[in-house]
Amino acid sequence: MRRCAQGLSLIILLLVAGAYVLDDLALLLAAGILLCGLVGQYLVFDRQFREIVSSVSVKRSLERTQVRKGTTLRVATTVTITVPPPMHATISERLSSQVAVLDGNTTFSADPDPEPRTCEFRYRITPVVHGRMRFAGITLAVRDAFFSHEIDLFSDPFSGPDLLIQPVGIFEPAGKRTTAESREVEKLKVVSGFGIRALREYYAGDDLRRIDWKLSAKHNKLFVREYTGMVSLPPLIIVDLPWHGTPFSQAALEQMVSVIAGLAEHSIRSYQYVSILVISGANLLHFSPEEKDLQRCMSMLREWMHPVPRVVHQYHATDRSAIRAEIRHLESVIVQGGEPAALQFSDRVRKHYLGVITHLRTPAFVGQVARTFASLKIDECYLFSLASGDTSHIRQVIRQAKIAEMIVHIRLPGAVIASHPAYDRYLSADTVEAFA
Amino acid sequence: MKAENWDYLFIAVLAVTVIGVTGWTGSLVWYLHLILLCLFGGVFYATRRWHDRGFFLVCAGIPLMVACGAMSTWAGLVAGWMVAGCACNAMGLLARSRERRLFGVFCAATLPVALIVYFSNHVVVPIIILAVVTGAIVAVQQIRDHQWRKRYGVQP
């Protein structure tokens, strides 16, 4: 109700109250006439409002339907509407929080006109969150002298099209052992590196340039250097998505996605392909082996880089190797000796661990990860995680990567590393660093 | 007919009704009816360029409606029609034939109200009837509105 209708309602209430107190039918008659007018006006307004809504048609066109996050996109929306007098209508675009409006008009006021009229919004937006965004229709507000009404029109004729927002990568510093496109390995390769992996006696046919003269002079025998080999294998990117049931930092997730996108882009440009493994807790969700197409890779990141439901939870499970290490530690404590009470306690804990380890079964997730690693020819991996909640699965992944002789780099939010300085030791990875 | 002519017609009918009924009933406070008629005319003239003129006309017309209604229910009804006509015309609600038809519907809808008042001795029963009917209309309208909105408000 607008001000005029509110005033009339107040007068009606006063008249009815006066009629009731004074038992005066003349006051009641006046109140009844006004009430008829107000209710009738409401019914007329409602009917005209529905006519206006049914006359609305929306046509929206985008400059492109697939953009990268942070780029600018022009949008043109044409709305056709019939606003009979004495109604006034205001149409505004319903824009998702995934985009920011740069400039242009997203609201239009339609003056009364019995003929259909067409209005056009032209504006520019900047997507700020990756993913699929659907233009969610329009908001139509209609008013006359007595009433105003608003409706959100987000059914199919008013919404769409879909905008695909690809994640954009940011610079990620390379690992310690990586060079621009290749790195040294402790194996013989056709292309030699700069490091020395071994020294051996000279055999006929060896390259004379590889003779280590200083060592040869010392031992009075010819020794040659064996250099490390160079390989050009892209790193495996493992993404640990947060569980949607636990609180996490949206900003940290956005930053993580940007870093992953940057690393994936760098890998495709430098090594011609990239492998991405998507997990969430102890759930292996998606594996994209040796993806060569950058667009397809970005589309995959756009689709998957969101919080997900977790089917399997580990509840801070300890794996078999950690328990074994604990048993070994307790046994060494018992052998060293000490106070009888402490020894008794250590023995009791050791027995408890031994009882647990006999019933402990390897989780299916560990087998899945091991099989995935076995199918790849990779010696380095980056694991990205927000480390919110249970992190036992991260240790399991690291263990399997170590078994597969991979160098493991863990990338966590800076706040997590700052709050847990011992993460480095706990995770036993080669490097534990914050996002770039 | 032009909008100004509608105004003159309504005021003329209102003046004839008030003066006629006052003379016919021989009211002792006949001067009060004339003062209220003059008050309505004064407000009609003074607010001719105001934005919310309709509301002021309704406010000025209510004492006249009550005074006429105290003499005769039917005189009060006619006064109500004329005041409403002036207010509607001031708000541009009689410009098209469709709106004039709707004004006719409004006049017809007030007849049952006048009948209820005419045949009642006290206000309690008519108040209950008005409240129930108004509540029923609003409730049905809300349900219809909810059903109708679902057609347009399905989340994509």
Please tell me the predicted confidence (pLDDT) of residue A3: 79
Please tell me the predicted confidence (pLDDT) of residue A178: 46
Nearest Cα to Cα of residue A436 among A216, A192, A248, A256: A256
Q: Break chain B into its structural domains and give their ranges.
A: 3-114, 120-156
- pLDDT tens-digit series, residues B99-136: 888 889 999 999 999 999 889 888 899 999 999 999 99
Q: Per-residue pLDDT for B139 more than 90? A: yes
Please tell me the predicted confidence (pLDDT) of residue A187: 66
| CB A240 within 8 Å of CB A307 | no
Chain B residues lying within 8 Å of A159, measured CB to CB: 156
For the ranges A209-223, A343-357, B89-103, which has the lowest average pLDDT? B89-103
- SS3 assignment for chain B: CCHHHHHHHHHHHHHHHHHHHHHHHCCCCHHHHHHHHHHHHHHHHHCCCCCCHHHHHHHHHHHHHHHHHHHCHHHHHHHHHHHHHHHHHHCCCCCCHHHHHHHHHHHHHHHHHHHHHHCCCCCHHHHHHHHHHHHHHHHHHHHHHHHHHHHHCCCC
A334-345 average pLDDT score: 88
Please tell me the predicted confidence (pLDDT) of residue A84: 85
Select the residue of B93, B123, B148 nearest A20 (Cβ to Cβ): B123
Say whether A159 and B122 touch across the interface (CB within 8 A).
no
* More reliable by pLDDT, A322 or B124: B124
Please tell me the predicted confidence (pLDDT) of residue A147: 87
For the ranges A49-63, A177-191, A370-384, A412-426, which has the lowest average pLDDT? A177-191
Please tell me the predicted confidence (pLDDT) of residue A146: 84
Cα–Cα distances in Å, from A158 out to A92, A152, A391, B151?
A: 12, 10, 44, 12
- Residue A140: closest C-alpha in chain B: B152
Distance separating alpha carbons of residues B48 and B28, to the nearest angstrom: 33
A184-201 average pLDDT score: 74
**pLDDT-based confidence at B2, cuts 50/70/90?**
low
**pLDDT-based confidence at A180, cuts 50/70/90?**
very low
A3-24 average pLDDT score: 89
Distance separating alpha carbons of residues B13 and A68, to the nearest angstrom: 72
Please tell me the predicted confidence (pLDDT) of residue A185: 64
- pLDDT tens-digit series, residues A375-410: 888 888 999 998 888 888 888 899 899 888 888 888
Chain A residues lying within 8 Å of B58, measured CB to CB: 8, 11, 34
Please tell me the predicted confidence (pLDDT) of residue B156: 43
Q: Which amino acid, B21?
A: V
Structure tokens at B150: 């679902």
| Shortest CA gap B6–chain A (Å) | 18
Chain A residues lying within 8 Å of B130, measured CB to CB: 16, 28, 31-32, 35
Give me the percent of chain A exceeding a pLDDT of 70: 94
Q: Exposure of A339 by Cβ count < 10 A (0-12 exposed, 13-18 middle, 19+ buried)?
A: exposed
Q: Which amino acid, A336?
A: Q
Q: Per-residue pLDDT for B91 more than 70? A: yes
What does residue A317 show for φ and ψ, rounded to 5 degrees?
A: -70, 145
Residue B117's CB is within 10 A of a number of other CB atoms, namely 25
Please tell me the predicted confidence (pLDDT) of residue A188: 66
Please tell me the predicted confidence (pLDDT) of residue A255: 86
Q: Is B72 on the interface with A (CB under 8 A)?
A: no
Question: What was the ipTM of the complex prediction?
Answer: 0.89
Chain B residues lying within 8 Å of A35, measured CB to CB: 113, 130, 134
- pLDDT tens-digit series, residues A209-266: 888 999 999 998 899 988 877 767 788 999 999 988 888 888 888 888 888 988 888 8
**pLDDT-based confidence at A345, cuts 50/70/90?**
very high
Say whether B152 and A151 touch across the interface (CB within 8 A).
yes
- pLDDT tens-digit series, residues A99-136: 888 888 888 888 888 888 888 888 898 888 888 888 88
The three-state secondary structure class of A117 is: strand
| Shortest CA gap B26–chain A (Å) | 18
Identify the structural domains of chain A with CATH numbers, from first to last: 55-166 (2.60.40), 184-231 (no CATH), 236-317+363-434 (3.40.50.410)
The three-state secondary structure class of A114 is: strand
Structure tokens at A238: 């493992």
Interface of A with B in 79-98 (CB under 8 A): 85-86
- In which element (H, E) is residue A118 found? strand A113-127
- pLDDT tens-digit series, residues A285-320: 999 988 888 888 888 888 888 899 988 888 888 878
What does residue A289 show for φ and ψ, rounded to 5 degrees?
A: -85, 135
